[in-house]
Amino acid sequence: MWAFIFQPLLYCYITLGAIAPAKPHTRVFHPIHVSTTNIEYNGQENKLEVICTIYTDDFEAALAKQYHAKTDLNKAEAHKAMDALIRSYLGTNLQVRTGDAAVKLNYLGFEINREATDIYLESDKMPLVKKIGVQVSLLHNLFDDQINIVHITVNGIRKSEKLDYPEKRVEQIF
């Protein structure tokens, strides 16, 4: 009985699919503007390891706006040029302090992870940290509803904070 009902419906779908013009792929924009910054103290290497994750389309727009440059993080041939822009952008919009000393973060690179971009940084060797302060203003130049989430992990203890625009500072003591 069900075959009798669904068979004509199946033929309708097949016919309409063949007749109806295919829609071009439209880009769907996400309704939330958020980034995450994960900072972890690696006790084996005595370094801070940082991973920033940002929606790729938002990140490209922020880079283009700040540097007045054409951006495409997906093109392999533009990778070196994008590295330079990202390094500069993060140098301006992400600062980490341990105690009262600024931490120099070495840019390692980026990779596209589905619709997000992961950016990798690490510090030079340093002693175990007790206090970490972070100033993060990622995408503040683009959105006034930007949310930056900061996760800081030291000795397996993770502390997180959500920063709503225009907030940009967080400090954690371990």
Q: What is the pLDDT of residues 137-148, one digit of tens each?
A: 999 999 999 999
pLDDT at 13 over 80: no
133 lies in some domain? yes
| In a domain? residue 50 | yes
| pLDDT surpassing 60 at residue 23 | no
What mean pLDDT value characterizes the chain? 87
User: Domain limits at 53?
Assistant: 40-173
Predicted confidence (pLDDT) at residue 32 exceeds the cutoff of 80: yes
Res. 19: pLDDT tops 50:
no
**Residue 59 counted as domain residue:** yes
Give the residue carrying structure tokens 């392999």. 76
Q: Which two tokens stand for residue 2?
A: 């069900």
State the Cα–Cα distance between residues 28 and 131, nearest whole angstrom.
40
Query: Does 119 map to a domain?
Result: yes
Look at 13 and 128; give whichever has higher pLDDT: 128
- Exposure string of 82-116, with b = 16+ CB inside 10 Å and e = fewer, is beebbbebbeebbbbebeeeebebebeebeeeeeb
Q: Cα separation of 168 and 134, whole Å?
A: 8
- Does a structural domain hold residue 101? yes
pLDDT digits (tens, 9 = 90+) for 41-100: 999 999 999 999 999 999 999 999 999 999 999 999 999 999 999 999 999 999 999 988
Q: Answer whether residue 160 is part of any domain.
A: yes
In a domain, 72, yes or no: yes
Count of domains in the chain? 1
- Asked if the structure places residue 14 within a domain, the reply is no
pLDDT at 6 over 80: no
